[in-house]
């Protein structure tokens, strides 16, 4: 895992015979008039017209080789070339589609499945709850040291992200891990403990009760799986305004463009002590965009080895609800084209830092949060356009992406 003027030219004039006849006639003082009666009426009419005029439908005499490139043979050659190019494009397109289907089938076959209660239809849209768990169960001691995960007991959700997709449009909503909520069992506290209380079903129920947003599907990735996916695509590039260092996340990165391997990427999305939880969320959302962009590169999609390596890694790393099928994966892949672009809307549940029961938490701002929740419930979040000036908003709530944290900005083109 330590590895990421078509050349036709001006029309040529006809043969010299016509020009000689006119010249001879003029030199003979009009002797041609004596033969006018013997000439067809069309010829007389032709001479009566101004120079350069031509009867409708009449053609300009051409030499034997003057076909202007439009001879039947030339047209046939071009049609043959065009047909071959079209056939090649169709074959390439078919191969890409088949590779994509095969890769999706491979990923789906390798995914672990889990029973999840409370999933609902979202009315033409698809809402996927994506969870990054801090499970270390699959890690041996050496892997824990290499990934810098520590050895904390229990199972909590390190990242909670709701992805809404429809067609090629997508929007993300992050739930801070310390968000103060009422959980599925009626207890109150941080949202990241909901998973430990009742597994995926409890987390889905908690998110739905808090936001009113129906959750269609559930996907989960752990530390090891996350690192393997990043390594499979050959690493992911980010841009740092200044060095980024966090001993707890086992990360020490220089400023500028940095291509992260799996271990570094894991530390990058877990950093929180250098700023705050919103900075952490902003970096996570930026990383999701850049990872999606990397996965959609021709160097991945058109490279069978890398494509199937990525599909294998993703399938092995993910746990999904039993209802997530190939069609759903296809929808996610189609929408994934916008994940790395400016069309993707990124939000976080707004709140205020507080201390409740001795624990540091984020208390949701109900009015502001409800405006965001409503835009996801009715799908208007997918229809919003970026304003001509000023930050992008949904009902007055600025996108989290508008606040620049170290590592949250888009990498430059040459990164």
Mean pLDDT, residues 344-349 taken together: 88
Domains and CATH numbers, the chain: 97-402 (3.40.630.190)
CA distance 378 to 213: 9
Instruction: Please check the confidence at residue 253 and state whether its pLDDT lies above 90.
Output: yes
CB atoms within 10 A of CB 123: 13
Q: What pLDDT, on a 0 to 100 scale, did the predictor assign at position 319? A: 92
**Cβ-contact 126, 321 below 8 angstroms:** no
State the chain's mean pLDDT as an integer: 76
Tokens of 217: 């599907």
pTM over 0.85: no
CA distance 37 to 51: 22
pLDDT in tens, 132-172: 876 545 555 554 555 444 444 546 688 899 999 998 889 99
What residues have CB less than 8 Å from 239, skipping those under 6 apart?
Answer: 256, 257, 258, 407, 409, 410, 411, 412, 415
Q: What pLDDT, on a 0 to 100 scale, did the predictor assign at position 103? A: 77
pLDDT in tens, 75-102: 555 556 666 666 666 665 566 666 667 7
Q: What pLDDT, on a 0 to 100 scale, did the predictor assign at position 415? A: 80
Mean pLDDT, residues 278-290 taken together: 89
């Amino acid at each position: 895992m330590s590895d990421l003027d078509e050349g036709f030219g001006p029309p040529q004039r006809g043969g010299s015979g016509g020009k000689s006849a006119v010249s001879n006639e003029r030199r003979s003082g009009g002797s041609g008039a004596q033969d006018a009666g013997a000439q067809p009426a069309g010829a007389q009419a032709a001479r009566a017209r101004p120079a350069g005029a031509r009867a409708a439908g009449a053609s300009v005499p051409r030499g034997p080789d003057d076909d202007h490139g439009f001879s039947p043979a030339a047209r046939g050659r071009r049609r043959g070339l065009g047909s071959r190019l079209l056939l090649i494009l169709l074959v390439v397109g078919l191969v890409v589609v088949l590779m994509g289907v095969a890769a999706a089938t491979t990923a789906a076959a390798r995914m672990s499945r889990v029973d999840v209660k409370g999933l609902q239809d979202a009315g033409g849209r698809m809402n996927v709850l994506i969870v990054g768990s801090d499970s270390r169960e699959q890690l041996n001691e050496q892997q824990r040291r290499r990934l810098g995960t520590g050895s904390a007991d229990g199972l909590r959700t390190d990242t909670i992200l709701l992805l809404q997709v429809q067609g090629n449009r997508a929007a993300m909503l992050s739930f801070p891990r310390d968000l103060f909520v009422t959980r599925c069992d009626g207890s109150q506290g941080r949202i990241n403990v909901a998973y430990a209380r009742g597994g995926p079903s409890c987390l889905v129920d908690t998110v739905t009760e808090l936001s009113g947003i129906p959750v269609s599907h559930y996907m989960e990735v752990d530390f090891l799986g996350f690192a393997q996916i990043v390594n499979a695509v050959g690493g992911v590039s980010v841009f740092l305004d200044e060095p980024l260092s966090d001993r707890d996340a086992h990360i020490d990165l220089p400023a500028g463009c940095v291509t992260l391997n799996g271990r570094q990427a894991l530390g990058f999305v877990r950093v929180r002590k250098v700023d705050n939880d919103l900075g952490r969320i902003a970096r996570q959302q930026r990383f999701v965009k850049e990872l999606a962009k990397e996965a959609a590169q021709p160097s991945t999609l058109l490279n069978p080895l890398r494509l199937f390596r990525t599909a294998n890694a993703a399938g092995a790393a993910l746990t999904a609800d039993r209802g997530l099928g190939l069609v759903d994966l296809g929808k996610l892949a189609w929408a994934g084209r916008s994940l790395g672009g400016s069309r993707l809307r990124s939000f976080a549940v707004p709140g205020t830092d507080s201390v409740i029961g001795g624990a540091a938490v984020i208390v949701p701002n109900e009015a502001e949060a409800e405006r965001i929740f409503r835009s996801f419930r009715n799908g208007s979040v997918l229809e919003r356009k970026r304003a001509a000036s000023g930050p992008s908003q949904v009902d007055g709530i600025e996108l989290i992406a508008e606040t620049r944290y170290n590592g949250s900005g888009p990498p430059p083109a040459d990164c």
